[in-house]
Amino acid sequence: MASKDQRFAIIDVETTGGRASRDKITEIGIVLHDGQQIIGTYESLLNPQTYIPAGIVQLTGITQEMVRDAPLFHEIARDIVEFTEGAIFVAHNVRFDYGFLREEFARLSYTYTRKQLCTVRMSRKAFPGLKSYSLENLIKHFGIATDARHRALADALATANILERILAKESNQEEVKLMVNLGVKESKLPKGITLEQIHNLPEACGVYYFHDAKGNVVYVGKSINIKKRIAEHFADQTDKGRQLQQHVADVSYELTGSELVALLLESHEIKRLHPPINRAQRRSSFPFAIHTYTNEDGFICFDVIRNDAKTRDKYEIISEYPTMTSAKGRLNYMVRELELCSRYCHLFPGTGACFHYHLKQCRGACAGQETVADYNERASDARERMRTVFDTDFFLIDQGRSDDEKAVVLVEQGHFSGFGYVDAETSLTKTNLRDAVKTYPGYPDTARIIQRFLNEHPKAKIIKLS
């Protein structure tokens, strides 16, 4: 007998071919089962928006005419998610059916995740000695009545019959539990992490923490889909992936709703906790800066300088960096991206036309071939894109952790000051917003995070403080 509250979604898909990345689903059949009896069914033809090969038509009987007016996958995707929610995904050769569904959902930018159970593998354990464990052979062996072979619901019903026979054997209960685990074990999990933990993680935006056996945080990350990202970590075969598999004993998380808040919180937590695997993001010292000025000819110029109290008072600092290399790297990127003059960015010594002009990568401001106005238009763009010190104070409003709230990010005195949440019904007055914000220290990288967000979301809701 299956667990009283355990449900199975027995699924069969008919397709235009055998490769999920290339071929499409033409029909889906789902049988919902509580381990004792069928409690619901679902079936639908699907328009694959592609040609169905003649051999497939002969096998399934599904013709181009039959699917012409059928729904597209995105039109029934929500039905599939809701119908299979909380159920174990069962199929005869589960990798095939599960793979096709995951691929279809991936095309919609949705991560479809379910525990899985393969009746082919279970049948080999439960009914040893058969010549074949194909669905066709099992139907014949058990005398299962079926109306239309190679139609999705008929095959799903036949698979449900086989599942019932497997579950009827008391000795198979632990085997079923084990095989469900193996079905989702697509990567080697750390010893302290269970599959149940992975399945219980939210498919939502936030910050996650990996802890070692003593409870210490060894890694902090952020994702718009925490469950998916953590599963990817444990499938990672790089040095970092192996480090995580070796040291991680527990996982925790904090939902943020807003990806911007997730990035800001991740940056703060890495600097606060100093996780050993987050080496690159732990720096809190930024001894180099890019400053800007206008030269005697009127051209906007940039230079990398030491970042200290004296230079901050004397120069217009627009961004700060942990190393000279990273500062010059950012400036070099802007030179290439916007065809700026490397001499006016102090990356080329001397006078006269710069090296990039001879390579036709500079438009010739340094050689008298470009007007001040034309050059400064691009240089102004570069200045704003590099800026990590804001010239205005504002609240930035983003989505919250639910539809009932909004996230609030505060920039004050030119720097990130903190974030918080307000009820969606709350009036967005400056007093209410300020009361909602929890103060966090600002660093140049947090300012870059906000600047990048503003560049990518030009219509973001901004409320200026003055």
**Per-residue pLDDT reduced to its tens digit, 137-171:** 999 999 998 877 779 999 999 999 999 999 887 56
Distance CA(178)–CA(159), nearest Å, equals 19
pLDDT tens by residue, 56-80:
999 999 999 999 999 999 999 999 9
The string of pLDDT tens digits covering residues 437-462 is 999 987 778 888 998 899 899 999 99
Could you tell me which residues are beta bridge partners of residue 33?
8, 38
Burial class (CB in 10 A: 0-12, 13-18, 19+), 5: exposed
Task: Using the predicted structure, report yes or no on whether residue 183 has a pLDDT greater than 50.
Answer: no
pLDDT at 184: 45
Over the stretch 198-221, which tens digit does the pLDDT of each residue have? 878 888 999 999 999 999 999 999
- Is residue 81 within 8 A of residue 112, CB to CB? The reply is yes
* Mean pLDDT value of segment 323-348: 90
Domains of the chain: 8-184 (3.30.420.10), 195-281 (3.40.1440.10), 288-386 (no CATH), 394-464 (no CATH)
Local structure of 357: helix, strand or coil:
helix
pTM, 2 dp: 0.53
Please say whether the beta carbons of 284 and 271 come within 8 A. Answer: yes
Residue 278 in this model has a pLDDT that exceeds 80:
yes
Are 287 and 306 in contact by the 8 Å Cβ rule? The answer is: yes
Q: Band of the pLDDT at 136, cuts 50, 70, 90?
A: very high
pLDDT band at 180 (very low <50, low <70, confident <90, very high): low
Q: What is the pLDDT of residues 403-441, one digit of tens each?
A: 999 999 999 987 899 999 999 999 999 999 999 999 998
Rounded Cα distance between 460 and 30, Å, is 42
Catalytically annotated residue among 150, 211, 268, 415: 150
Runs of H (alpha helix) within 169-258: 173-184, 195-200, 226-235, 239-247
Q: What is the mean pLDDT of residues 243-270?
A: 93
Residue 217's DSSP bridge partners are 211
Check if 358 is active-site.
no
Question: What is the C-alpha to C-alpha distance for residues 260 and 248, in angstroms, rounded to an integer?
Answer: 26
* Distance of alpha carbon 143 from alpha carbon 139, whole angstroms: 6
Q: What is the mean pLDDT of the chain?
A: 88
